[in-house]
A and B are shown apart, each in its own frame.
Chain A
């Protein structure tokens, strides 16, 4: 049994089939990329896995446990962390408090939670902004806070929805480094949606491609960029030639 197994997931939004019979498996310790054009159903697939949507049919298994139909807080407690494509810009809590909420997932004690949160913040080089509110920060930092918050819940599988969008090349470079480090040092399995092709191809060990709700390809990055369906659906000839 794989670490995360997704079998025949179908999600139908009243006629619009956002996920059509999608299956794949992820092994522990992998870094998997999920790509596809806008509206392909990537975020929906994430939501079906972590429980924001209940799939119409299909099954999700995580560490041998059937988690289909779990609530998001239950999947989180089971060990899945996630970030959001669109992070709500909030004004009510500081960065540190945000991350502490994450740590409170694993402890009841405030001092422990605070310590854990500071540790995570230090790890992501966010100490300097710990007393700022999310709305006061640039988008790159906001995304990192979202990541820190999820990390603080100590996930075994971290699902990232476009963490790098809106970042400049140096920032992207940093994120890539960070993800590799999380994967190798903390043994966190990563599953990431990304639009920035250079980044997915660089960081992922395997890539899954969605188009119109269907899985059209799965494989090594090098094979994916050569796959004809993928090129047609998404990448465009230019990119394929460029590589």
Chain B
């Protein structure tokens, strides 16, 4: 109960932020009536999905300050669990998704235990390695469709149990609901004991240890929370796309994108991942559809995208939210 109150309590934010959140929420709720074209709806769904991924990453990567670059493996676990259980045993989404989360969390403990013995670059590279190993396995494992991936059976009629709808609007509202659950959870998380401890770990590991914090255990907990978030998103991807393969769910570039969006928006802030996704997802999509398709210009879209990453890393590593905060501080 206390926790729920904390999750819904945004009173420590400034007035401007609270008003922004309300306007943004109204926009999200009414979007299918005002803005919807099928392309914009797809972009919005992607935006919400990546916000969710980013919020998850933010626990370990943002608050905990760990350069975690292997989140894609949990997208893979979430989406493959949902897809395979549906194909093999016709298990409804509402059963398979929680199982996917459990598997992701279990797996994250197994991986996290050795992983968090490592620090710095060793850690960052090891996270990539673990993710690529899983992709390598799925790429070659015929039972799960290998590199070809798997298609989910398409039902003739919309089916809530299996999350199959004709219109994207339903998917939109579903991911929006997940987004809000994620947002409220993160609002609680940042005020929780673990949230404080992680921030201390990020600031000064030695001091954190001297204050009775079991650093490794804290990191593992945050890592598994992040993994759960990402697995939920993965499960959604399976029912939304109705087709998954290792390349779209476990690629290194997906891991990087997840971390990047949170970073770009502003790591360790509640709004950061949302801002980052709001910026990068449309950019990615529109650049792709405007430039990527033109003959002779293949690659230009990603060059612009990469150029932006380079500029932000060099000039504003604290992200867009960092810039805003700077202005606000100057205002004081």
Q: Within 8 Å by CB, do A and B touch in the complex?
A: yes
Please list the residues of chain A having a beta carbon within 8 angstroms of any beta carbon in chain B.
50, 52, 71-73, 76-77, 81-82, 84, 87-88, 90-93, 97-98, 100-102, 104-105, 108, 110, 113, 146, 149-150, 152-153
Question: Within 8 Å CB of B6, what residues of A?
Answer: 110
B213 CB–A CB distance under 8 Å: yes
Known: A88-B207, A110-B191, A113-B193. A93 touches B212 (CB 8 A): no
**10 residue pairs, one from A and one from B, having the closest CB atoms:** A105-B212, A76-B212, A72-B209, A90-B203, A88-B204, A92-B203, A101-B200, A104-B193, A77-B212, A73-B214
Known: A92-B268, A98-B200, A108-B193. A81 touches B206 (CB 8 A): no
B221 CB–A CB distance under 8 Å: no
Question: Within 8 Å CB of A100, what residues of B?
Answer: 196
B277 CB–A CB distance under 8 Å: no
B192 CB–A CB distance under 8 Å: yes
Q: Which of A52, A71, A102, A108 contacts B211 (CB 8 A)?
A: A102
Instruction: Assess whether B211 is in contact with A150, with CB atoms less than 8 Å apart.
Output: yes
Instruction: Assess whether A101 is in contact with B196, with CB atoms less than 8 Å apart.
Output: yes
B210 CB–A CB distance under 8 Å: yes
In the complex, A143→B6 CA distance in Å?
A: 32
Q: Which of A77, A98, A108 has the most CB of B within 10 A?
A: A98
B148 CB–A CB distance under 8 Å: no
Type the 1/0 row for B168-208, where 1 means its CB is closer than 8 Å to any CB of A.
00000000000000000000000111001101101110111
**Residue ID in chain B nearest A47 by CB atoms:** B206
Question: Within 8 Å CB of B212, what residues of A?
Answer: 73, 76-77, 105, 153
19 contacts across the A-B interface (CB closer than 8 A):
A52-B209, A72-B209, A73-B211, A81-B210, A84-B206, A84-B207, A87-B207, A90-B203, A93-B200, A93-B203, A97-B199, A100-B196, A101-B197, A101-B200, A101-B208, A101-B213, A105-B212, A149-B211, A150-B211
B215 CB–A CB distance under 8 Å: yes
Question: Within 8 Å CB of B210, what residues of A?
Answer: 50, 72-73, 76, 81-82, 84, 150
Question: Within 8 Å CB of B208, what residues of A?
Answer: 101
In the complex, A91→B200 CA distance in Å?
A: 11
With both chains docked as a complex, state the minimum distance between the C-beta of A159 and any C-beta of chain B, in angstroms: 9
Question: Within 8 Å CB of B202, what residues of A?
Answer: 92
- Known A-B contacts: A76-B210, A149-B207. Give 15 more (CB < 8 A): A52-B206, A72-B210, A76-B211, A81-B210, A92-B268, A93-B196, A97-B196, A101-B200, A101-B208, A108-B193, A110-B192, A150-B210, A152-B211, A153-B211, A153-B212
Question: Within 8 Å CB of A149, what residues of B?
Answer: 207, 211
In the complex, A25→B268 CA distance in Å?
A: 45
With both chains docked as a complex, state the minimum distance between the C-beta of A95 and any C-beta of chain B, in angstroms: 12
With both chains docked as a complex, state the minimum distance between the C-beta of B242 and any C-beta of chain A, in angstroms: 43
List CB contacts (< 8 Å) of B244-285 with chain A: 268
**Residue ID in chain A nearest B196 by CB atoms:** A101
Question: Within 8 Å CB of A90, what residues of B?
Answer: 203-204
Instruction: Assess whether B213 is in contact with A73, with CB atoms less than 8 Å apart.
Output: yes
Q: Which of A73, A77, A88, A108 has the most CB of B within 10 A?
A: A73
With both chains docked as a complex, state the minimum distance between the C-beta of A118 and any C-beta of chain B, in angstroms: 15
With both chains docked as a complex, state the minimum distance between the C-beta of A139 and any C-beta of chain B, in angstroms: 16
With both chains docked as a complex, state the minimum distance between the C-beta of A77 and any C-beta of chain B, in angstroms: 5
With both chains docked as a complex, state the minimum distance between the C-beta of A11 and any C-beta of chain B, in angstroms: 17
Q: Which of B191, B196, B214, B215 has the most CB of A within 10 A?
A: B196
In the complex, A72→B212 CA distance in Å?
A: 7
Instruction: Assess whether A71 is in contact with B209, with CB atoms less than 8 Å apart.
Output: yes
Q: Which of A82, A100, A101 has the most CB of B within 10 A?
A: A101
Instruction: Assess whether A93 is in contact with B207, with CB atoms less than 8 Å apart.
Output: no
Instruction: Assess whether B203 is in contact with A110, with CB atoms less than 8 Å apart.
Output: no
Known: A84-B206, A88-B204, A90-B204. A105 touches B192 (CB 8 A): no
In the complex, A40→B135 CA distance in Å?
A: 53
Question: Within 8 Å CB of B191, what residues of A?
Answer: 110
Known: A84-B206, A110-B191, A113-B193. A93 touches B199 (CB 8 A): yes
Known: A52-B206, A149-B207. A110 touches B193 (CB 8 A): yes
**Residue ID in chain A nearest B213 by CB atoms:** A73
Q: Which of A72, A87, A102, A105 has the most CB of B within 10 A?
A: A72
Q: Which of B197, B206, B213, B215 contacts A88 (CB 8 A)?
A: B206
With both chains docked as a complex, state the minimum distance between the C-beta of A34 and any C-beta of chain B, in angstroms: 17
Instruction: Assess whether A73 is in contact with B209, with CB atoms less than 8 Å apart.
Output: yes
